[in-house]
A = this chain, B = another copy of it.
Amino acid sequence: MRIGQLSRRTGVPARMLRYYEEQDLLHPERAANGYRLYDAAAVHRVQQIRGLLDSGLTTEIIRRILPFLDRPGEIHPGCLSDEVAALLKEEADRITQRVECLSRNRDAILAYLAAVQRDGDPAPPSVR
């Protein structure tokens, strides 16, 4: 599919899809006339990129972890140096930090909402 269709399917502006390619996150084929050609998997990949960007990761970090995300163990040649492994571990830890921070604060919001809602109830769910 061409860039316009991928854009419509993902809701991501074509401009951004070109940018992600420039950042080495996408690698579409090229038609004879120079048009970008994406395979069906690109839709998922774009959504993944968007989710990670929205979660505060930079394109640089995404680029480094992306090659390791879509293989549940399929491709793991000896190409994983100790340094890269350490980097991945570090990044995983940073992500865990984020998850904990976000969960904590989301729970606080929900707890607050629950408290207020309980309060506003005209008839509390009386236990007795």
Contacts and interface: CB of A to CB of B under 8 A. Distances in A.
Contacts of A105: 48, 51-52, 65, 69, 95
A110 interface: yes
Interface of A is mostly: helix
Given A65-B109, A96-B106, A99-B99, 7 more contacts: A55-B98, A69-B109, A72-B108, A72-B115, A95-B105, A95-B106, A98-B98
Interface string A73-96: 100100010000100110110011
Interface residues of A, number: 41
B113 A106 contact: no
Contacts of A23: none
A39 interface: no
Interface of A: 48, 51-56, 65, 68-73, 76, 80, 85, 88-89, 91-92, 95-99, 101-103, 105-106, 108-113, 115-117, 119
